[in-house]
Amino acid sequence: MLLRIALIVAILAGLAAGGLGYYEVSTQVPTLTKQRDDEHTAKVNALTELAQTKTKLKKTQSDLAQTQQDLADAQSSLQKAVARADAESKQVDDLNQKLADVTTQRDTAQNSLAAYSATGLSPEQVAELNKQLKDANREIAAINGENNLLNHQLTIAKNHLRELIGPDFDIKLPPALKGKVLVVDPKWDFVVLDIGDTEGAVPDAELLVSRQGKLVAKVILRTVEKNRSIANIVPGWKLGEPIEGDEVTPAHPDT
């Protein structure tokens, strides 16, 4: 009897526990179903947003590539525009220079025309004067050439005379002849002077080199040009070292 009661109690307890479990499961199923549906919806939404984001990213990348290409094209166009501007600026400078040259030529021509008009001469007279001027210039050049030749021959004659008379013959120079030392070469004992044919210097003439009134050396002219001479220091007459700026005067002035 007790065993039946125990069995009945156990069965009742099992039924109660099963019913309670069923009740709990039946009450949680809608919640779990809703949670599953919500998670599914969220997953679908997330996948949709991801697809949209990928689409936007691809479009952004495409736009960026197009922007970079547009920028490269713009830079290329800018460089070409700068090159064209430089070329045009150079053309403008060239045209301005040509304009300045032409303006100068025009002003010169106008001045020449004004000077010509002021003379009151006819074109034939001006042409004749130009011919006479050219003839005079040719004649002057010929006279200068003859003069140079005569001076050269005179120098040769003086040197020859000196050889005939002997070493004691002193070549006279103009007493007013004065010059200065331009260059000194202490190694070879020669100096370059700022006097020449024009001032009356002649080869083999002797000059005294002085500084502040004191004798420094005696030199003898070896090469005489138009406005310059080269002279050697006479051995035994080097009392000091000649320097640039020292004065030179004739050792044997023609009194």
211 pLDDT higher than 90: yes
CATH number at residue 224: 2.40.10.340
Q: Give me the number of domains the chain comprises.
A: 3
Number of H helices and E strands in the chain, helices first, is 2, 6
d(CA 174, CA 195): 12
Residue 212 in any domain: the answer is yes
Region 181-193: mean pLDDT is: 93
Say if CB 230 and CB 192 are below 8 A apart.
yes
- The winner for highest mean pLDDT among 29-33, 40-44, 161-165, 246-250 is 246-250
Residue 255 in any domain: the answer is no
Q: For 4-48, what is each residue's pLDDT tens digit?
A: 676 666 666 666 555 555 555 566 667 767 777 777 787 777 788
Length in residues, the chain: 255
**161 with 237, same domain?**
no
d(CA 154, CA 146): 12
CA-wise closest residue to 171 among 252, 57, 56, 246: 252
**87 with 137, same domain?**
no
d(CA 10, CA 197): 157
**16 with 75, same domain?**
yes
Q: Which ranges of the chain would DSSP assign to H, the alpha helix? A: 2-119, 123-165
Residue 40 in any domain: the answer is yes
Region 114-140: mean pLDDT is: 73
The pTM of this model reads 0.39
Give the chain's largest Cα–Cα span. 188
**68 with 84, same domain?**
yes
Average pLDDT, the chain: 79
239 — pLDDT class (breaks 50, 70, 90): very high
Region 225-230: mean pLDDT is: 92
**179 with 238, same domain?**
yes
Say if CB 193 and CB 248 are below 8 A apart.
yes
**3 with 115, same domain?**
yes
Element of type H or E holding 248: strand 247-250
**109 with 136, same domain?**
no
Query: 52, 87, 119: which is the final residue of a domain?
Result: 119
**113 with 131, same domain?**
no
Residue 195 in any domain: the answer is yes
Complete DSSP assignment for 20-48: HHHHHHHHHHHHHHHHHHHHHHHHHHHHH
Domain range for 241: 171-250
Query: 134, 169, 204: which is the final residue of a domain?
Result: 169
